[in-house]
Amino acid sequence: MSWQEQIGAACDLDALESIRVELFGKKGYFPAQFAKMKSIPNEEKKAFADGLNKEKAELEAAFEAKKTALEGAALAAEIDKERVDLSLFSHLEPAGAIHPISHTMNEMIEYFTSMNFSLQTGPLVEDDFHNFEALNLPQHHPAREMQDTFYFKDEKLMRTHTSPVQIRYMKAMKPPFRMIAPGAVFRRDYDMTHTPMFHQIEGLVVDEAHKVSFANLKYILEHFLTHFFGDVKVRFRPSFFPFTEPSSEVDISCVFCGGDGCRVCKQTGWIEVLGCGMVDPNVFKAVGYENVSGYAFGMGIERFAMLKHRISDLRAMYEGDLDLLEQFK
C-alpha cells in the first residue's frame, strides 16, 4: 500500500498517529530519505530534494485532511452517544389527584368565601352541650333519635353534625357575621348511601333583629345551588329541625333525569340536598344572644360530590378505588 492509501485506510486517530510516526517521526521515512541527500551527486540534489519536498507536502496535506475527518467523526460519535431523545417517553410516575370529596368541598368553600363567609372549624370530639343541648335538642328530645351517635365512656362523643361549630363560634364572637364550617361528622350507619364518617358544611349568618330574613337565606341558597349544579330548579319544602324555626329542606330537580322522574329520584323528579332555616330563639338563648336574627344551613359534601359526578355508591369514595379516583385527574 502506498503512503497515501495507508493514510486513507486509517480507521481511527490512533492508527493515523502510528502512520504519522512512521512517516515524519525521527526514525521515520522522511528523515531517512533526507539523510540520503549526502550521498547523492550535487547535480541531482535539487531534483531529489524537490521531489521529496513535494511528496512530503502532499502526504502532510493528506494527513491533516484525514485527521480533521477522523476528529469530526469521533466528535459526532461522542455527541451521538450523549444525545437525549426528548421525544421518547420515559417511565412516568403515576400522578396523584385531588379526591372528589376534597375537590367538592373546596369548590363549595370557594363559593361561600367569595360571598364573604369566613371559614371556621371545630373539634371532632364534642360534648353533649355543643352537639345537642345548645342546639335545642335537650335530653330525651325525640329528635336526638334522628342521629345515631358514637359515644365515649366519659360523656364525650363524635360530633354527629357540623352544627356544634355554630355554638362555639357564637360564644366566641359578636354579630354581625357570616361563617361556614366544613368538616367530618360521624354516625353509626353503613349502607349504599351512608358511611360512619362523612362530611358536611354548616353555614350561619347572624345580625341585628330583623336584619336577616328567610328571603336572604332563600336567595343565597338558590344562587349557590344553580352556581354549583348549573341549570337546576330549586324548591324549598317545609320541614323540621330543632335548631331552626321555621325550617326547610331544599330539593333540586333531579340531575339524572332533568325532573322527569327516574330510579334515583324515586320518580319524584326532585332530590333533597340540604336543610336550613331561621335560627331558633332557643339556640340564641343558649349562647346568650339577644335582639338578633339569623339563618343557618347544613349540607352533606358527599351528596354534592355524588350528584355532580354521577357516582351511585357512596362507599366507592372511601375504598381507594383507583378506577374511580383516576377519573378526577
For ligand DAH, the binding residues (CB under 6 A) are 161, 163, 202, 241, 243-244, 275-277, 296-298
Which CB sits closer to ligand DAH, 16 or 276?
276
Q: Is the peptide bond before 31 cis (omega within 30 degrees of 0)?
A: no
- Grid coordinates representing 206 are 347572624
Which CB sits closer to ligand DAH, 276 or 317?
276
Instruction: State the minimum distance, in angstroms, from the CB of residue 96 to ligand DAH.
Output: 31
Q: How far apart, in whole angstroms, are the C-alpha atoms of residue 264 and residue 180? A: 29
Instruction: State the minimum distance, in angstroms, from the CB of residue 279 to ligand DAH.
Output: 8
Can you tell me which residue has the cell 355532580?
308
Largest CA distance in the chain: 138
The SS3 of residue 197 is strand
Q: Is the peptide bond before 246 cis (omega within 30 degrees of 0)?
A: yes
Q: Quick check: 126 and 156 in contact, CB under 8 A?
A: yes
Instruction: State the minimum distance, in angstroms, from the CB of residue 295 to ligand DAH.
Output: 7
Which CB sits closer to ligand DAH, 6 or 160?
160
Which CB sits closer to ligand DAH, 7 or 301?
301
Instruction: State the minimum distance, in angstroms, from the CB of residue 204 to ligand DAH.
Output: 7
Instruction: State the minimum distance, in angstroms, from the CB of residue 245 to ligand DAH.
Output: 10
Q: How far apart, in whole angstroms, are the C-alpha atoms of residue 15 and residue 75? A: 17
Which CB sits closer to ligand DAH, 186 or 243?
243
